[in-house]
Amino acid sequence: MRAFSIFSTPSGLSDGDRQKRRHMLARMGLGWLAMMQVMMFAFPGYLRSESMAPENLELLDQAIFLMNWISLILTVPVMLYCAWPVWQGAFNSLRRGRVGMDVPVALGIIAAFIPSAVTTWTGHGEVYFDSVTMFVAFLLTARYLELCARQSVGGGKVHQMIEQFRISVSVRANRVAFWFVLVQLVLAFLVGAVWYVYAPQHAIAVMVALLVMSCPCAMAMAVPTAVAAAHASYSAAPDAARLNTLQLVQATGLIARQNLYGAVAWHLLMTPLAAFGLVAPWLAAITMLLSSLAVAANSWRLYRKYTRPHDGWQAAVA
């Protein structure tokens, strides 16, 4: 097997591309650092229970209030700096009259951040800064891997075919993610209104759970992770010269579709449960994490298939 790493920097890489990689790495690193800290500060909120002794509950509420403000302070740089490519991409897409993946991603981030900021200010309710930072960190990781893979592999017919596939399939992924987020946001407010009429004490929790699930993290990772795996697979394959390139591109398309529609199916499965109040907001955040991990693992299968010699590997080469 040829030695290869998508993190290697080609000698002929332009200064602009090098700077782009450094900025993406800095954003990703800050996103992960903030995510770990915010998730740690969110832990006291998960311990809260009305069955606790009054004096313990009062002390815990004071700790939660402080932790929420610290989490807000840590999340603001993530929103302004780490997620800047998302805001920029969404603005450019809307200016051109098109709906790119950044538009639904931006809507999902805002839908989770604003209620959390309001809750922190008022001191009542639950916050989901851990979901926001986790979403941004996972998304930036997928995009960083894709960027490194594209820059490290250089040119070549196969890599150009993979890039052409990425452009074509991204259009479909963008459309699916946009309509999913739009429907999910409308559904969240409608369901929240119904709950407010019949059980107002649960309305906010149900609505926030649906808003958290509207973040298309796994959908945004569907194509980038598959494309990164395809680039790396071809460059690190044991015998790339004999690799069936058409089959590799087709396999990449299959993985990308599995990622995209699998994420949609998972959300469609969890949405009715959340609408009926069976999924707490913190559990909704965990479901988002699980779907993102499933997308990453599924894309990893593509890389393993083409880089690990086994009995069936010869069927993948021609």
More confident residue, 17 or 21: 21
Domain contains 82? yes
Residues present in the chain in total: 318
More confident residue, 100 or 114: 114
So what's the pLDDT on residue 311?
A: 43
Portion of the chain with pLDDT greater than 90, in percent: 13
More confident residue, 142 or 313: 142
Burial 240-275 (b: 16+ CB within 10 A, else e): beebebeebbebbbebbbbbbebbbebbeebbeebb
Find where tokens 């209030």 sit: 65
d(CA 259, CA 297): 10
d(CA 89, CA 100): 8
Domain contains 2? no
How large is the average pLDDT for residues 136-162? 73
Hey, what's the torsion of the CAs at 206, 100, 144, 226, to 10 degrees? 90
Cβ of 89: how many Cβ atoms within 10 Å? 16
d(CA 124, CA 310): 57
d(CA 247, CA 44): 50
Reduced to 3 states (helix: H, G, I; strand: E, B; else coil), residue 249 is helix
d(CA 90, CA 105): 8
Identify any residues that bridge with 243 across adjacent strands, giving them in sequence order. Answer: 317
So what's the pLDDT on residue 81?
A: 94
Domain contains 10? no
So what's the pLDDT on residue 3?
A: 46
Q: How many domains does the chain have?
A: 1
24 has pLDDT over 80: yes
Contact between 149 and 91 under an 8 Å Cβ cutoff? The reply is: no
d(CA 196, CA 47): 26
| Amino acid (one-letter) located at 41 | F
Nearest to 27, CA basis, from 195, 160, 112, 142: 142
* Start-to-end C-alpha separation, the chain: 17
d(CA 240, CA 272): 46
| Amino acid (one-letter) located at 226 | A
Contact between 67 and 126 under an 8 Å Cβ cutoff? The reply is: no
Nearest to 143, CA basis, from 65, 223, 63, 76: 223
d(CA 210, CA 192): 9
Q: Is the entire prediction scored with pTM above 0.75?
A: no
d(CA 17, CA 39): 33
**Which range of residues forms the domain containing residue 144?**
15-316
How large is the average pLDDT for residues 222-233? 80
- Both structure tokens of 300: 């990893």
130 falls in which pLDDT band (50, 70, 90)?
confident
2 falls in which pLDDT band (50, 70, 90)?
very low
Domain contains 127? yes
154 has pLDDT over 60: no
Helices and strands (H, E) in the chain, number of each type:
10, 0
So what's the pLDDT on residue 219?
A: 81
Domain contains 8? no
Question: What's the angle, vertex CA 142, arms to CA 146 and CA 211, rounded to 5?
Answer: 145
Domain contains 79? yes
So what's the pLDDT on residue 315?
A: 44
Identify any residues that bridge with 317 across adjacent strands, giving them in sequence order. Answer: 243
47 has pLDDT over 80: no
Nearest to 154, CA basis, from 11, 40, 270: 11
So what's the pLDDT on residue 217?
A: 74
So what's the pLDDT on residue 87?
A: 92
Domain contains 196? yes
Domain contains 9? no
Taking only the tens place, the pLDDT of each residue in 243-258 is 667 777 888 888 988 9
Contact between 267 and 213 under an 8 Å Cβ cutoff? The reply is: yes
So what's the pLDDT on residue 317?
A: 40
